[in-house]
């Protein structure tokens, strides 16, 4: 791989650091500090998270309609996204925060879809598809960086300064990407409609439904993990570090899962990730110890990025000429699940005065998503076999 290709990949990683690791997920380690200082309830915290995911849904859906000047639009999205991060630390009031989280979600969704689809097309054009998994390591890197910086900034100054500090880090990432991507020319696809009817056939609808349920289930841990550990009195001092462990698990997960998927059945590897994620979600209930919560954090980081990477890559293999449509469609249904997850979890946690029921609910949803996906694979294979049999029989006649 030459310097130009490496620069393109690094730029994509840094954009996802901002759009996903910081803009989207930094709320998780900052949340305990915000709740202590402002008196936010769990339900209100869930509203802040869901506002971001509503925006993410809008952005992902919107991205599928963009057929011209994606690079320029991506640059503007990055600028607005960074401003929303600064705004969380500089402005006050629940409604202001809700609007800022919505804006962060819209721009973050656009950034995720446009960055991943542009880079996948770029790498495919140079026969470097095997490197596509590294793009998604930006999610884990951003999570790890926010997990490291937030406790230091929030403890030394305040949670507002933590947002401002992350904003400064985001500016550096965006400027570096714009420099590395100065020669990038996006591959123009025919995108008259963001979803082609042909996409929704065979196994694809089953993948999409399972992916939506995965979004609903995983986001409970993705939103409340640090606060869950913070509520366990003996483990409170370790709460912030758990988010660093999530990032450590997430950084190498994309290329590792992609490598495994190239050697074994994609559905088998995606299923394995689902199983490990269910274990990670319920571990804080089964083992509320330092080992249990840190293992939960690692499994969560390792699997949620892996599932995103494998599902997106596998769907793109099924429809290689429709990168933007496939990524946009999957990200949209994923975002739908994420909108609902924090709201349900917040209500369950408030009603039962504990996160345990919310985690059981999340684990059950992901387990059901796995069952549904495997059932869909079986039904699709059965239908394809029947169609092949009929075709062979007709030829024989």
Question: Tell me: the pLDDT tens digits for 354-384?
Answer: 889 999 999 999 999 999 999 988 888 766 5
Q: 56 and 338 in contact (C-beta within 8 Å)?
A: yes
Q: What share of the chain is helix, strand, coil (3-state, %, to 5)?
A: 85, 0, 15
Rounded Cα–Cα distance for residues 163 and 154 (Å): 9
pLDDT value at position 320? 66
CA 273 from chain centre, in angstroms, equals 14
Q: Is the pLDDT of residue 303 over 90?
A: yes
Kindly list the domain boundaries of the chain, sorted by start residue.
3-183+197-396
Q: Residue 48: which H helix or E strand, with range?
A: helix 42-63
Write the DSSP assignment of 178-225 as a string of letters. HHHTTT--PPPP--SSSS-GGGSSTTHHHHHHHHHHHHHHHHHHHHHH
Whether domain 3-183+197-396 has CATH 1.20.1250.20: yes
**SS3 for 97?**
helix
Structure confidence by residue, pLDDT tens digits, 47-88: 888 899 899 889 988 887 777 788 889 999 999 999 999 999
- Across 152-166, 265-279, 374-388, least confident range: 374-388
pLDDT of residue 205 exceeding 70, the answer is yes
Q: What is the pLDDT of residue 391?
A: 43
**pLDDT tens across 37-56, in order?**
888 888 888 888 889 989 98
Q: Is residue 18 predicted with pLDDT exceeding 90?
A: yes
The tokens for 340 are 């609902």
Compute the distance between CA of residue 93 and CA of residue 97 in angstroms, rounded to an integer.
6
Mean pLDDT within 264-268 = 90
| Closest C-alpha to 313, from 52, 104, 123 | 123
pLDDT at 179 over 70: yes
pLDDT-derived band of residue 16, with 50, 70 and 90 as boundaries?
Answer: very high
385 pLDDT above the threshold of 70: no
Chain Cα centroid distance, residue 38 = 28
Q: Give pLDDT, residue 188.
A: 52
| Mean pLDDT of the residues in the chain | 85
Most confident among 23-32, 89-98, 115-124, 317-326 (mean pLDDT): 89-98
Task: Please state, in angstroms and rounded to a whole number, the distance separating the CA atoms of residues 120 and 135.
Answer: 9
Tokens read off for 350:
């408030």
Task: For residue 293, give both structure tokens.
Answer: 């919560």
Average pLDDT over residues 93-104: 94
Of residues 22 and 315, the one with the higher pLDDT is 22
**How many beta carbons lie within 10 A of that of residue 335, not counting itself?**
25
User: Inter-axis angle of helices 204-230 and 42-63, to 10 degrees?
Assistant: 150
- pLDDT of 294 > 60? The answer is yes
Q: Is the pLDDT of residue 30 over 50?
A: yes
User: Confidence class of residue 195 from pLDDT cuts 50, 70 and 90?
Assistant: very low
Q: Say if residues 338 and 223 touch (Cβ distance below 8 Å).
A: no
Per-residue pLDDT at 174: 94
Q: What percent of the chain has pLDDT over 70?
A: 90
Which are the contacts of 66, defined by CB distance < 8 A and separation ≥ 6? Answer: 73, 110, 114, 191, 324
Asked if residue 325 lies in contact with residue 173, where contact means CB atoms within 8 angstroms, the answer is no
Q: Which residues of 130-165 are buried (b: 16+ CB within 10 A; e: fewer)?
A: ebbbbbbbbbbbbbbbbbbbbbebbeeeebbebbbb
Backbone angles phi, psi at 354, to 5 degrees: -165, 155
What is the arithmetic mean of pLDDT over 154-180? 91
| pLDDT higher than threshold 70 for residue 396 | no
**Average pLDDT estimate for 96-107:** 95
Query: Is 80 exceeded by the pLDDT of residue 187?
Result: no
């Amino acid at each position: 791989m030459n310097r130009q290709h490496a620069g393109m990949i690094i730029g994509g990683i840094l954009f996802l650091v901002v759009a996903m690791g910081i803009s989207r997920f930094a709320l998780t380690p900052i949340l305990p500090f915000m709740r202590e200082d402002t008196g936010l309830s769990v339900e209100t915290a869930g509203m802040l998270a869901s506002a971001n995911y509503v925006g993410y849904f809008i952005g992902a859906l919107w991205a599928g309609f963009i057929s011209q000047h994606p690079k320029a639009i991506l640059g503007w999205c990055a600028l607005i996204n960074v401003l929303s991060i600064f705004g969380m630390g500089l402005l006050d009031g629940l409604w202001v925060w809700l609007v800022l989280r919505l804006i962060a979600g819209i721009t973050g969704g656009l950034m995720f879809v446009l960055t991943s689809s542009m880079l996948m097309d770029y790498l495919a054009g140079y026969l470097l598809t095997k490197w596509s998994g590294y793009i998604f390591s930006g999610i884990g890197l951003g999570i790890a960086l926010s997990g490291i910086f937030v406790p230091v900034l929030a403890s030394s100054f305040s949670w507002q300064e933590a947002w401002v500090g992350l904003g400064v880090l985001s500016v550096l990432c965006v400027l570096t990407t714009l420099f590395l991507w100065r020669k990038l020319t996006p591959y123009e696809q025919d995108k008259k409609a963001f979803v082609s009817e042909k996409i929704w056939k065979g196994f694809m609808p089953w993948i999409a439904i399972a992916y939506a349920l995965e979004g609903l289930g995983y986001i409970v841990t993705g939103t409340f993990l640090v606060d869950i550990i913070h509520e366990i009195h003996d483990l409170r001092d370790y709460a912030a570090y758990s988010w660093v462990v999530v990032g450590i698990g997430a950084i190498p997960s994309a290329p590792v899962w992609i490598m495994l998927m190239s050697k074994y059945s994609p559905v088998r590897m995606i299923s394995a990730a689902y199983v490990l994620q269910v274990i990670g979600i319920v571990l804080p209930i089964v083992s509320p110890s330092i080992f249990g919560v840190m293992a939960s954090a690692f499994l969560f980081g390792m699997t949620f990025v892996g599932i995103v990477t494998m599902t997106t890559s596998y769907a793109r293999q099924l429809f290689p000429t429709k990168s933007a449509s496939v990524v946009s469609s999957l990200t949209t249904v994923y975002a739908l699940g994420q909108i609902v997850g924090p709201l349900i979890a917040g209500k369950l946690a408030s009603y039962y005065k504990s996160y345990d029921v919310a985690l059981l609910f999340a684990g059950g949803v992901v387990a059901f998503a796995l069952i549904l996906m495997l059932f869909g694979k079986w039904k699709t294979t059965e239908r394809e076999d029947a169609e092949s049999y009929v075709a062979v029989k007709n030829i024989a006649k």
